[in-house]
A and B are shown apart, each in its own frame.
Chain A
């Protein structure tokens, strides 16, 4: 089978490896571009959020490249994303497309369905269970290694002397990771990538601002959906920390360990464990970023994203109580790079000034 999947940051490197080693042909989804979005917007409902539209476009592009099956995730609500595969399938059928969308629902809710789909992929690829599990393990290592490199790059970028060095180094590191086939090779490639970043010429005298990035998972994870916001901020000399990574569930995070823990933090403001998507996380993480001494927070969300609207209505109180500025960016197909940049520059200026006046005040007290 020719299999494709949604494009989400650099994760395609790992998923490509996965699909190929399960005995299928992989159609690597192209990075979302103007064309992807145009296609998506044309065939999607008007008020669907931008991830829906980008995925729609991606699927159509993948089909053009020969894909027969799309693998994606399902969900149980209340976020709309869990219903996307159904809608995408409906819309594709309406267009007369033969593309089949197969979604993995959360295994905790329907283990039989999950198992059935896994078996189907394994059998049609003609691989043994032993091989299947091995491939899964290696893919997971790859995802983690990719995230490690990316996390490190956001720490290094504000110090770079030659603009663009870090981004180029990341690209080289990912190329090496792409070639790695075993767990030890992945480890080597990861270490080499981290070393490559560490050896870049740096100005260690800088004291960059620290900004936390929160919000809806797709626009946070897919740089082309948020106009490469983290790179943009890094090149403005800001260190960014992102709350969501694909490998985040297993990661010892300095900020949070997800789920219940983040709900306890957000509870005084939002007393409901699950409002869908990352709504509760956005509130909890703003508090945690404030506690960890970050200078500001940027909330990213697609236009009309319900959980993030709830979060946005509550964040002003959090921001006031914890004295941390928050910039909310709602992204849709009309959002332009220059608009994002202008607002970020203004936000960064504001944070600079806040820091200066705080230091001034501290000096006067001494």
Chain B
């Protein structure tokens, strides 16, 4: 039995239930890094290459946070999770593709890296191959791996089900942890806001200075692209001249386009990290499309190391005020 560290960022918000159940069924202990904090960010900024975006810097911080507590750090190389796009070449941001190498070369005195190349576009059985590689590295037999894999798939499914009930991922993760089926009571709201962006930016309350909390307090119900099924999202692919190349970007774009078409959504907020490469395209594309498709109000918020709560709050308040004013005017 070994201790396996999972950084609480990047793919954590999407695939954690799968990883946790898989490792625990194999008899290992899963250690999560602490939620992103000032200390984690500062550590990450020190270790990471200075031109990297804030999520990558923070990932370095999470790895450092785990470094002394675990035997392994789970750091998969996410290459693709499906065959999608004009050429079937959808992949992840190049920084995901080089992540294990960046981590290995940037940080001294690391525990062993639990590395695996996740390239699922090749076929249906690919995911099982991937988990087999992971299990064998940990010294587990093929029988155990099979069983753990089945349970992990089930866990991931029930997580998706929670999300499709319009429960936010961080809430859903908590519910799975406590094994309850009842989500916490919703705050009252009078506006419906869609927040699109990368999971590790919109669900990490430290990076975005508590954006979701602020929205909730200001009387808005939040929807994100992760509450929509793949089918609903991919329908939007046909409305674009060409799909983007990155999985998370495509999800954000399709989600944004879907919400633009929905009558009940009052406004869309796109959250992006400073100098994010793919987002330089995503952001402008959504802005133009929101103008072309019935003028859905659109706000873009850029976050970086220096983002403060007051700045985000001011912009959100102004945006929501504008939405309410717009609605009153329309009603008149």
The stretch that binds A, out of B83-91, B162-170, B194-202, is B83-91
> Which size class do B's interface residues fall under?
35 or more
B51 and A309: CB pair below 8 A? yes
Residues of A contacting B87 in the complex (Cβ-Cβ under 8 angstroms):
76, 105-106, 109-110
Residues of A contacting B42 in the complex (Cβ-Cβ under 8 angstroms):
none
A275 and B277: CB pair below 8 A? no
- For residue A104, CB closer than 8 A to chain B, the reply is no
CA distance A74 to B274 in the complex (A): 26
CA distance A303 to B288 in the complex (A): 24
Residues of B contacting A82 in the complex (Cβ-Cβ under 8 angstroms):
245
B94 and A276: CB pair below 8 A? yes
Instruction: Find residues 73-106 in chain A having any chain B CB closer than 8 Å to their own CB.
Output: 74, 76-80, 82-83, 86-87, 89-91, 94, 105-106
CA distance A48 to B105 in the complex (A): 28
- For residue B252, CB closer than 8 A to chain A, the reply is no
B245 and A48: CB pair below 8 A? no
- For residue A279, CB closer than 8 A to chain B, the reply is yes
CA distance A80 to B281 in the complex (A): 8
A269 and B51: CB pair below 8 A? no
Residues of A contacting B279 in the complex (Cβ-Cβ under 8 angstroms):
47
- Of A47, A94, A310, which one neighbours B280 at CB under 8 angstroms? A47
- For residue B283, CB closer than 8 A to chain A, the reply is yes
Of chain A, the residue at the smallest CB distance from B47 is: A313
B49 and A312: CB pair below 8 A? yes
A313 and B52: CB pair below 8 A? yes
Q: If the complex has contacts A269-B105, A304-B51, are A86 and B241 also in contact, measured as CB distance less than 8 A?
A: yes
- Of B95, B244, B246, B274, which one neighbours A310 at CB under 8 angstroms? B95
B307, chain A: closest CB distance, angstroms: 16
B275 and A279: CB pair below 8 A? no
Residues of B contacting A309 in the complex (Cβ-Cβ under 8 angstroms):
49, 51-52, 94-95
B98 and A87: CB pair below 8 A? no
Most buried by A among B92, B95, B280: B280
CA distance A312 to B98 in the complex (A): 11
Residues of A contacting B91 in the complex (Cβ-Cβ under 8 angstroms):
77-78
- For residue B299, CB closer than 8 A to chain A, the reply is no
Q: If the complex has contacts A304-B275, A309-B95, A310-B95, are A46 and B280 also in contact, measured as CB distance less than 8 A?
A: yes
Residues of B contacting A304 in the complex (Cβ-Cβ under 8 angstroms):
51, 275-277, 280
Residues of B contacting A305 in the complex (Cβ-Cβ under 8 angstroms):
277
Residues of B contacting A89 in the complex (Cβ-Cβ under 8 angstroms):
241
A310 and B275: CB pair below 8 A? no
CA distance A274 to B98 in the complex (A): 10
Q: If the complex has contacts A89-B241, A269-B105, A306-B93, are A80 and B277 also in contact, measured as CB distance less than 8 A?
A: yes
Q: If the complex has contacts A77-B91, A109-B89, are A314 and B98 also in contact, measured as CB distance less than 8 A?
A: yes
CA distance A274 to B117 in the complex (A): 13
B284 and A87: CB pair below 8 A? yes
Residues of B contacting A314 in the complex (Cβ-Cβ under 8 angstroms):
98, 101-102, 105
- For residue A199, CB closer than 8 A to chain B, the reply is no
A276, chain B: closest CB distance, angstroms: 5
A307 and B94: CB pair below 8 A? yes
- 17 additional A-B pairs beyond A77-B246, A271-B101, A314-B102, beta carbons within 8 Å, are A45-B281, A46-B280, A78-B92, A80-B281, A83-B242, A90-B285, A106-B87, A109-B87, A110-B87, A274-B97, A276-B94, A306-B277, A309-B94, A310-B95, A313-B49, A313-B98, A314-B101
Chain B interfacial positions (CB closer than 8 Å to A):
48-49, 51-52, 77, 79, 85-87, 89-95, 97-98, 100-102, 105-106, 117, 240-242, 244-246, 274-281, 283-285, 288
The 4 closest A-B pairs by CB, nearest first: A77-B245, A313-B49, A47-B280, A310-B98
**Would you list 26 pairs from A and B whose C-beta atoms are within 8 A, ordered by A residue?**
A45-B284, A47-B275, A48-B280, A76-B85, A78-B92, A78-B93, A79-B94, A80-B278, A83-B244, A86-B240, A90-B285, A106-B87, A269-B105, A270-B101, A271-B101, A272-B77, A275-B97, A277-B94, A304-B277, A306-B95, A307-B94, A310-B94, A310-B97, A310-B98, A313-B48, A330-B51
